[in-house]
Structure 1
Amino acid sequence: MKVGLAFLPAWIPYNPPLGITCISAVIEREGHEVSLFDYNAYIYDQIKDKHGELWLMDESPKWAEIEVFKKEIYPLIKTYLFKLVKDILSQKLDAIGFSIYNSNSHPTMIVIQNLRRIFPELKIFISGARVDEPLATELFKLKLVDAAIMGEGEQTTTEILEYWSSDEERDEILGAVYFNKSGEVIWGKKRPLLNIKDLPIPDFSKFDLDRYTSNGFPVEFSRGCVAKCTFCSETNYWVSFRTKSARQIVDEFKYHYDNYGVNQFRIVDSLMNGNHRLLEDMCDIILEEKHTFYWHGFCRISNKLTPALLKKMRDAGCTYINYGIESGSQNVLNLMKKRYKLSEILETVKHTKNSNIEVHAQILIGFPGETWFNFYETLRMLKILRGYFTRIYPGIPLSVTRQTYLYDNLDEYNVKLGSGEKWRTKNFSNTYTIRLIRHWILKKYLKYINITQGYPLEVE
């Protein structure tokens, strides 16, 4: 089949999108012809001079809130969304898949609606972190998609395409919701987890690499997370923590260097140190073979990140680590189920800086149960460690999102949902307005203590 895979804004366009590239590598291996449409980077490139700030992390609520999106963003990107529709139709594809996240769901739905109206015979499928049972139910009721992939997409997409290429009926396709040949909606059971060691290396050759704002490529060491933070959906989405081998990771670095001259890599995992033995083995191979690679990514605070391991990581090319610290209050850390102590934060941050690895950190404001004193504790921690941090990401105030422990246990946290970001605690101790005020104070305080903040649109 001739298949397209598309990714729409908004996502900071540092690198080519990894999700659709991974699926492309697998279905091409099965003989399908694949076209890739990164309209996130394309649209950013067209309007960045006047409106590039809309791709900043702080602006993501504007893309997620439908009324704000319609008023402030849609008029700016409307022309490009219809260009994508034309591009897809001009390819004379048999099927088109869209990767959906919270921040790109509205642009994606607009493109899907127009494709369905203009070319109803085109098979449309969706995958990504935003795809869950409520969304699938809504889209199948409206008959906007032919298949929705729940969870990992590589094998399920392959089987969906095989099904559409065949005249034979199937009782179900694991991991998929789809219309069968009689027009009935079939809900497949969960698919067993993939062995990611069996996946091919992603091929970025189909992208215009000049459009991206860094010179690196995204790479994954693992899928899943060893932690179970209550606000995070990644644990539920990936289900279980799995890794590639150290040899595979280094070979993937080498492949990208040999084929593209790229030796800078953004590790997209929930955490690079889910398996400290793997991390050290990878560093050993890089050092033994004398490669020059530069890489960075997220880590979990851990006393297993010893000075010796951190030094080895630096020698093997680790340039910075982004820690999901989230709070300087032990009470809030416990509510989040972070499972580490404040003393471990102080120790790990200092060891990292002393190893000549830049320290970046995430701060999450407004977790239910966070008091004004707890918020002050976070500011105090930032002041104590201000000489160690290179950059702090204040992000946006906490959202209560589906597929999280918090969302599934609202009563435990005394939370009442509202529209969009506007949830509150039942006793009004934590409201959207309070979270906005604390977030504003945090950003002003970071400026006051001279810590660089936020995700830049362009990086070296």
Structure 2
Amino acid sequence: MKICLINPTNVNRDWGYSFPPLGIAYIAAKVLALGFEVFVFDRDLLLWKNNMDFKRVDELTEKMLREERPDFVGIGATTPLIFDTYKVARMVKKIVPLARVIAGGVHPTILSHQVMADCKEIDCVVVGEGEETFVNILLGNKAENILGILYRKGEDVVANPLPPPIKEMDSILFPARELLDMRSYTQKSKHLIRGVSLKGTSIFTTRGCPFLCSFCCAPLVFGRSVRYHSAGYVIAELEHLIERYKVEGIYFADDMFASNLARAHAICDEIIKRGINRKIVFAVQMKANAVDEDILLKLKKAGCIQVEYGFESGSQKMLDLMNKRVKIADNYKAAGLTRKVGLRILANLIVGMPGETKEDFAQTMRFLKKIKPDVAGLYKLVLLPGTKLYNDFEKQFSEAKNWDCSLVDDLNINLTDIPKSEFIALFKKAKAGISISNARAYILYNFKRNAFATIGEVLFLVINKVRSYIRKVKQCR
């Protein structure tokens, strides 16, 4: 039996390929452990390597299917990748009609029935955590007995109950990164730890998020109960990455690294004890009202160089609408403490919220100016399926949802109280200012570390940005 796991293309991404598709790598590890033949076909990486030539990537995909003729094809998809998921499913059924096509990931989890209706070539959808469910499918268990799937029964679609979440987090195998092109995924990049050029990769040490931010779909996939890998597990994975891939940087991709302060301290203590802090640097995401000076100092001692905050807005009204459960004062305090201990600050901000006024927008810009982060990200609100804001405002945009382009980049969807033309002008001006500030900070910081390499990277980034802009114009016409 041969299993192919496919990573679809992301037409909107101009980040390069800093983040490997760990979702399917976790699945692959479980499949490998049971002795099945499995391989990963990474369309997204191929797209990047082939200068965004979609036709060429499709040709390579068809060639792979003809040569390998897999028995099962699993495709992992987030919302911007869903149309490519459909395309791949149709390719599979055309070339290998008897192969079973299984879709999983964020978008199929949240809109499982719609996915099955939209693409008849998909035989089954895996909802939520996929490791155990996918294996149960491969083992030939009867569909009606497999928890967490939607499957076809004649012309009908049957939805089975969900399985309980994986409680023993340390029972989860390390992702099968050996099946990925880790040489590409660990190339030097400024996007892993944003604003810092280094060779590294990302890891997850938790699953679940206890919060219900109105714009975020994270709790819909892994639940609101946070489950943790032990400090020992985390250290073992770090040492594995250092030994095998010679990384110099790690991005902890958990939504909130220090949701359990005792565990965060324990991880840092082990990093220091084992001398890992002399081999790598790292970055974490934190919630502003869940940090204190002690954990920030410990993080710095352990090798952390940057803390990423979802400050989101300088307007308390907007923060409340986002259900952030945080006060503006908390955001200022977190930024001040982080600066005090000498860690870099990454500030993420969202504009375009329903009812947002020009004053709300201005408050966000004033907040950004006051905290002076080392790097900032300004994003227009994206209405992700399953979130409260999506459910509240779904009817206001087209029935033919262009997940690839409109959802992510379309400024025509305006929910603010600012006239559309004015909002677009404000957003573009602010975005341009932040981009210039980020570029200046990037050059200054990295020039001190390696002047020659930084000059080359800047030239590459400029070329890539132009290429990305041209691609987006072509894709979204």
Task: Indicate the TM-score class for this superposition, using the shorter chain for normalisation.
Answer: 0.7 to 0.9
Question: What residue is the counterpart of 1:190 in the other structure?
Answer: 162
Residue type of the alignment partner of 2:9: P
Asked if the contact 2:311–2:347 (Cα under 8 Å) also holds between the matched residues in 1, the reply is: yes
Residue type of the alignment partner of 1:3: I
Q: Within 2, Cα distance between the matches of 1:31 and 1:183?
A: 34
Residue 227 (structure 1) aligned with residue 211 (structure 2): yes
Shift of residue 208, structure 1, vs aligned partner: 2.4
Asked if the contact 1:216–1:264 (Cα under 8 Å) also holds between the matched residues in 2, the reply is: yes
Residue 346 (structure 1) aligned with residue 332 (structure 2): yes
Residue type of the alignment partner of 1:329: S
CA-to-aligned-CA distance 1:367-400 (integer Å, 9 cap, x gap) = 11211111110111111122xx1111113x1122
Asked if the contact 2:307–2:345 (Cα under 8 Å) also holds between the matched residues in 1, the reply is: yes
Structure 1 residue aligned with 2:387, among 404, 426, 430? 404
CA separation of 1:288/1:447 partners in 2, compared to 1, >3 Å: closer, same or farther? Answer: closer
Structure 2 residue aligned with 1:100, among 72, 77, 83? 77
CA-to-aligned-CA distance 1:46-66 (integer Å, 9 cap, x gap) = 21xxx6xxxxxxxxxxxxxxx
Q: Within 2, Cα distance between the matches of 1:171 and 1:101?
A: 26
Residue 178 (structure 1) aligned with residue 151 (structure 2): yes
Asked if the contact 2:69–2:96 (Cα under 8 Å) also holds between the matched residues in 1, the reply is: no
Asked if the contact 1:4–1:97 (Cα under 8 Å) also holds between the matched residues in 2, the reply is: yes
Shift of residue 436, structure 1, vs aligned partner: 2.7
Shift of residue 449, structure 1, vs aligned partner: 6.4
Question: What residue is the counterpart of 1:258 in the other structure?
Answer: 243
CA separation of 1:218/1:7 partners in 2, compared to 1, >3 Å: closer, same or farther? Answer: same
Q: Within 2, Cα distance between the matches of 1:359 and 1:129?
A: 28
Equivalent residues, number: 416
Residue 18 (structure 1) aligned with residue 3 (structure 2): no
Structure 2 residue aligned with 1:393, among 364, 377, 384? 377
Asked if the contact 2:137–2:143 (Cα under 8 Å) also holds between the matched residues in 1, the reply is: no
Q: Within 1, Cα distance between the matches of 2:438 and 2:144?
A: 61
Shift of residue 207, structure 1, vs aligned partner: 2.3
CA-to-aligned-CA distance 1:305-338 (integer Å, 9 cap, x gap) = 2222111101111121111111011111111111
Q: Within 2, Cα distance between the matches of 1:431 and 1:159?
A: 52
Residue type of the alignment partner of 2:336: K
Question: What residue is the counterpart of 1:366 in the other structure?
Answer: 352
Structure 2 residue aligned with 1:357, among 343, 351, 365? 343
CA separation of 1:366/1:89 partners in 2, compared to 1, >3 Å: closer, same or farther? Answer: same
Shift of residue 200, structure 1, vs aligned partner: 0.8
CA separation of 1:430/1:274 partners in 2, compared to 1, >3 Å: closer, same or farther? Answer: farther
Q: Within 1, Cα distance between the matches of 2:322 and 2:284?
A: 21
Structure 1 residue aligned with 2:298, among 268, 293, 312? 312
Residue type of the alignment partner of 1:310: L
Residue 162 (structure 1) aligned with residue 144 (structure 2): no
Q: Within 2, Cα distance between the matches of 1:142 and 1:378?
A: 41
CA-to-aligned-CA distance 1:409-432 (integer Å, 9 cap, x gap) = 449xxx83445445444xx72576
Question: What residue is the counterpart of 1:440 in the other structure?
Answer: 428
Q: Within 1, Cα distance between the matches of 2:438 and 2:164?
A: 48
Shift of residue 170, structure 1, vs aligned partner: 4.3
CA-to-aligned-CA distance 1:31-58 (integer Å, 9 cap, x gap) = 21110112212220221xxx6xxxxxxx
Identity, % of aligned positions: 23
Shift of residue 26, structure 1, vs aligned partner: 1.1
CA separation of 1:435/1:398 partners in 2, compared to 1, >3 Å: closer, same or farther? Answer: farther
Structure 2 residue aligned with 1:123, among 93, 100, 107? 100
CA-to-aligned-CA distance 1:59-108 (integer Å, 9 cap, x gap) = xxxxxxxxxxxxxxxxx312212211221331231111111112222222
Shift of residue 113, structure 1, vs aligned partner: 1.2
Which sections of structure 2, spanning at least 5 residues, go unmatched?
189-198, 443-457, 462-477
Residue 139 (structure 1) aligned with residue 137 (structure 2): no
Asked if the contact 2:106–2:221 (Cα under 8 Å) also holds between the matched residues in 1, the reply is: yes
Shift of residue 301, structure 1, vs aligned partner: 1.0
Is 114-123 or 373-382 further displaced after alignment? 114-123
CA separation of 1:331/1:284 partners in 2, compared to 1, >3 Å: closer, same or farther? Answer: same
Residue 376 (structure 1) aligned with residue 362 (structure 2): yes
**Aligned with 1:211: secondary structure?**
helix
Structure 2 residue aligned with 1:91, among 44, 68, 76? 68
Question: What residue is the counterpart of 2:126 in the other structure?
Answer: 149
Asked if the contact 1:325–1:362 (Cα under 8 Å) also holds between the matched residues in 2, the reply is: yes
Question: What residue is the counterpart of 2:8 in the other structure?
Answer: 8
Residue type of the alignment partner of 2:131: E
Q: Given the two structures, how large is their TM-score scaled by the length of structure 2?
A: 0.81
Question: What residue is the counterpart of 1:201 in the other structure?
Answer: 174
Question: What residue is the counterpart of 1:300 in the other structure?
Answer: 287
Q: Within 2, Cα distance between the matches of 1:134 and 1:344?
A: 35
Residue 334 (structure 1) aligned with residue 320 (structure 2): yes
Shift of residue 146, structure 1, vs aligned partner: 1.3
Residue type of the alignment partner of 2:274: E
Question: What residue is the counterpart of 2:183 in the other structure?
Answer: 210
Question: What residue is the counterpart of 1:68 in the other structure?
Answer: none
**Aligned with 1:158: secondary structure?**
helix
Query: Which structure has the highest helix share of the two?
Result: 2
Q: Within 1, Cα distance between the matches of 2:87 and 2:99?
A: 16
Shift of residue 450, structure 1, vs aligned partner: 7.0
CA separation of 1:451/1:119 partners in 2, compared to 1, >3 Å: closer, same or farther? Answer: closer
Which sections of structure 1, spanning at least 5 residues, go unmatched?
52-75
RMSD, aligned CA: 2.6
CA separation of 1:237/1:435 partners in 2, compared to 1, >3 Å: closer, same or farther? Answer: farther
Q: Within 1, Cα distance between the matches of 2:150 and 2:441?
A: 41
Question: What residue is the counterpart of 2:229 in the other structure?
Answer: 244
Asked if the contact 1:392–1:451 (Cα under 8 Å) also holds between the matched residues in 2, the reply is: no
**Aligned with 1:189: secondary structure?**
coil
Residue type of the alignment partner of 1:282: I
Q: Given the two structures, how large is their TM-score scaled by the length of structure 1?
A: 0.83
CA separation of 1:448/1:25 partners in 2, compared to 1, >3 Å: closer, same or farther? Answer: closer
Question: What residue is the counterpart of 2:396 in the other structure?
Answer: 416
Question: What residue is the counterpart of 2:455 in the other structure?
Answer: none
